[in-house]
């Protein structure tokens, strides 16, 4: 494992939170909730646009695309540690629930 993977996570969290970039990976390592677009879907959309431009499409006329899916990820372990409870209806709607 690289040194960044071992010691840089704390610093990375500070930097990411200061720029308010929502990434669902942070829920897996302790954040309470994530609600936003999946970064992987965003990269796929970007690659699709790049592919069209490289195949000759005019960048000025290439339509802007937004991610179609908004993900809700809940961390029940963090909620328990904070003494919080998610309503069952919210848990049922979550795309991913971390126990």
User: What SS3 state is found at 63?
Assistant: coil
Give the total number of structural domains in the chain: 1
pLDDT at residue number 9: 57
DSSP string, 42-59: HHHHHHHHHHHHHTT--G
Q: Which domain holds residue 81?
A: 3-98
| pTM over 0.85, yes/no | no
Name the band, by pLDDT with cuts 50, 70 and 90, for residue 24.
low
Strands in 13-92 per DSSP E: 33-37, 70-75
Segment 28-81, tens digit of pLDDT:
777 788 888 877 788 888 888 899 999 999 999 988 888 888 888 898 988 888
């Amino acid at each position: 494992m690289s040194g960044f993977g071992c010691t840089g996570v704390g610093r990375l969290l500070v930097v990411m939170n200061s720029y308010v970039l929502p990434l669902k990976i942070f829920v897996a390592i302790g954040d309470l909730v994530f609600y936003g677009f999946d970064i992987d879907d965003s990269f796929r959309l970007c690659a699709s646009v790049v592919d069209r431009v490289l195949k000759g499409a005019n960048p000025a006329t290439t339509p802007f695309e937004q991610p179609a899916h908004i993900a809700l990820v809940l961390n029940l372990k963090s909620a328990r540690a904070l003494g919080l409870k998610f309503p069952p209806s919210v848990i049922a709607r979550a795309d991913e629930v971390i126990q």
